[in-house]
Amino acid sequence: MAARMRAFHKEVVEKIGRSEMLKVYCHALSNWVLNPNTDPYQIEMLFDEICLGAQQEGLDDWDV
């Protein structure tokens, strides 16, 4: 799944750019969080991963 996500990310960023891709991610995350069927624990885990990723410097392998 991680490899699929990276390939998808790279392909779409090449087409629409980083700023637009960020909007896509934010829109999808907002919809997912607002879905009453989404497990709050999963939301917290994802948010923690995003916060951790924002603090790291080793994201060069994502080629964005």
The answer to whether 64 and 9 are in contact (CB under 8 A) is yes
The answer to whether 59 and 9 are in contact (CB under 8 A) is no
The answer to whether 46 and 35 are in contact (CB under 8 A) is no
- The one-character DSSP state at 36 is T
Judged against a pLDDT cut of 90, whether residue 11 lies above it is answered with: yes
Q: What is the pLDDT of residues 26-55, one digit of tens each?
A: 999 999 999 999 999 999 999 998 888 888
pLDDT class for 64, splitting at 50, 70, 90?
low
Q: For a pLDDT cut of 90, what percent of the chain falls above it?
A: 64
Q: Is the pTM value of this prediction over 0.85?
A: no
Radius of gyration of the chain (CA): 13
